[in-house]
Amino acid sequence: MVNSRTLVNALIGAIVGVVLSFVPFSTVLGGIAGGFLEGPDTRSGAIVGALAGAITFLPLAGIAIFGLGVLGFGMGIAAVPFEGFALVALAVVAAVALLFLYTVGLSALGGYLGAYLAREYPAHRVRTREKIGLSAEQSPSVGRTHSSGPQSDSRRRRDRESTRPDARDSRRDRDVERDRR
């Protein structure tokens, strides 16, 4: 499920990807930033990374559509045969599709890696969220109330445990114990 926190993290990841666009594979770095902020769930991290890639891709798609429109208008004036325009349009569409796969796919990979890093370094994640002005707790949005019940209690207990220095070891032990069942 995509909530406002997920969209904010995806937007942050997209901004990081655009700012670092001079670096090869910057979309992976943007996805890592978004996935790290989203949290330790690798599925959610991959979703945030894919959203960050889609947000990054939107301006590129707009430029491609504008360029295709200008190209089509120019070919209409120059009386180029329709087959020539169709071939150029097909090449542009193929290039845009590859760019989409590059941007969104590598951002999703980065989101997965970012979530993995958030799971391995929970204290760093909390500090990072506090430094950039996001809440350190796991609340989905600012105005939303916490639900009560056994699931939210266990989630709060896990979050409290994640700030302890030995939390990573105890979490691994729980994961191993759960996998044995």
pLDDT level of residue 139 (50, 70, 90 thresholds): very low
- Closest to 89 measured CA to CA, from 104, 74, 101: 74
- Residue 84: per-residue pLDDT: 74
What average pLDDT does range 109-114 have in this prediction? Answer: 96
Annotated domain spans of the chain:
4-140, 148-181
For residues 1 and 45, give the distance between their C-alpha atoms in angstroms, rounded to a whole number.
Answer: 12
- Residue 148: per-residue pLDDT: 46
The whole-model pTM stands at: 0.66
**pLDDT beyond 80 at 79:** no
With contact defined as beta carbons under 8 Å apart, do 125 and 37 qualify? yes
Mean pLDDT across the chain, nearest whole number?
79
**pLDDT beyond 80 at 46:** yes
Task: Select the highest-mean-pLDDT range: 76-80, 115-119, 124-128.
Answer: 115-119
